[in-house]
Amino acid sequence: MTSLTLALSKGRILEDCLPMLDRLGLAPAGDIDRLLRVPSRDPNLHFLIIRPTDVPTYVEHGAADLGIVGKDVLMEHGGEALYEPMDLDIAKCRLSIAVVKGSPFDRPPGTPTTLRRRVRVATKYPEITRRFFAARGEQVEIIKLYGSMELAPLVGLADLIVDLVATGNTLKANGLVETEIICQVSSRVVVNKASMKMKHAALRDLLARLQTLRAAA
Ligand code: ATP
Ligand code: PRP
Ligand code: MG
């Protein structure tokens, strides 16, 4: 039998995937809190438990045959080198622009700025942000952060943020408001292009099993 390696995004996506994998009889058979390479209950499937941002890299280079990763991470990484055959519809959120409520930046999307400097945008997604504003003909100063973006406009580090929003509770708790949605986000299955050819039957079967769960959800 062909063996497959699946790169799983640690954190929310892993949590959301576990019940799905369990229903398919594919749950990890090992300590997912410590082990980085974990067998599944199916001897032909192994998991790599890695940081979400590393999943596209592992799959692109063939260190994993397939992966499960957020659309946000894929858009930032650039997904051209990967197949993206399935939307799992889990870990759903949106990527949005947010500002301090009532600040000069709290205004309708696209309102021209009267600032004499570039608007400063704090984000974990510099590429998506650059593309989004460039498409609108705006050049912004991007401040790359690795988490807790909501803090940046509160302490004057940035004028606005580009970050994920789900319930909106984090924005609200920090006195921020969402002014514009850039895109909707959910978790996707991505597949290495060479694996899709060389391990076609095994991948087709696994994708079909994941698809039945989606249909049943
Ligand atoms: P790290 O910074 O350690 O790499 P992370 O912050 O990217 O981790 P998570 O917060 O678990 O890890 O998010 C993983 C993915 O889950 C994101 O890429 C996104 O697709 C989705 N996600 C993030 N935040 C939310 C949220 N609040 N609600 C639903 N899905 C979310
Ligand atoms: C994510 C995101 C927001 C929050 C949005 O942060 O970056 O801060 O969730 O969710 P909400 O709209 O339901 O409040 P996370 O908890 O992953 O922290 P991080 O910044 O360390 O990634
Ligand atoms: Mg997070």
Q: Does the beta carbon of 147 sit less than 6 angstroms from any atom of ligand 2? A: yes
CATH 3.40.50.620 fits 4-91+186-216, yes or no: no
- 74-95 pLDDT, tens per residue? 999 998 899 999 999 999 999 9
**In the sheet where 93-100 sits, what is the strand order?**
141-144, 120-123, 160-165, 93-100, 176-185
**Residue 127 in contact with residue 76, Cβ under 8 Å?**
yes
Q: Same fold for the domain at 4-91+186-216 and the one at 93-185?
A: yes
168 Cβ inside 6 Å of ligand 2: yes
Of the pLDDT bands very low, low, confident and very high (cuts 50, 70, 90), residue 113 is confident
Quote the CA–CA distance of 70 and 204 in Å, as a whole number. 21
pLDDT confidence bin for 96, thresholds 50/70/90: very high
**52 secondary structure, DSSP code:** G
Tell how far the Cα of 39 is from the centroid of ligand 1, in angstroms. 24
Residue nearest to atom 22 of ligand 2 (CA): 147
Q: What is the pLDDT of residues 13-65, one digit of tens each?
A: 999 999 999 999 999 998 889 999 999 999 999 999 999 999 999 999 999 99
Is 164 touching ligand 2 by the criterion CB < 6 Å?
yes
Tokens representing 4 are 């497959």
Q: Write down the mean pLDDT value for the chain.
A: 95
Question: What does DSSP assign to residue 65?
Answer: S
144: left (phi over 0), alpha (psi -120 to 50) or beta: beta
Q: Domain-by-domain residue ranges, the chain?
A: 4-91+186-216, 93-185
78-80-81-83 Cα dihedral, nearest 10 degrees: 110
Contacts of 11 (CB under 8 A, 6+ apart): 52
**Closest ligand 2 atom, CA of 11?**
17
If one looks up domain 93-185 in CATH, what number appears?
Answer: 3.40.190.10
**What H or E segment, with its residue span, contains residue 123?**
strand 120-123
Statement: residue 182 has pLDDT above 80: yes
Q: Is the pLDDT of residue 1 over 90?
A: no
Question: What residue owns the CA closest to ligand 1's atom 3?
Answer: 51
Length of the chain: 217
Helix, strand, coil proportions of the chain in percent (round to 5)?
30, 30, 35
Ligand 1 centre to CA of 91 (Å) is 8
pLDDT, residue 30, reads 87
**Residue 146 CA, ligand 3 centroid: distance in Å:** 9
The pLDDT of residue 79: 84
The yes-or-no verdict on residue 217 having pLDDT over 70 is no
pLDDT above 70 (res 215): no
Q: Which atom of ligand 1 is nearest to the CA of 51?
A: 4
Q: What is the position in ligand 1's atom list of the atom closest to the CA of 187? A: 20
ipTM attached to this prediction: 0.97
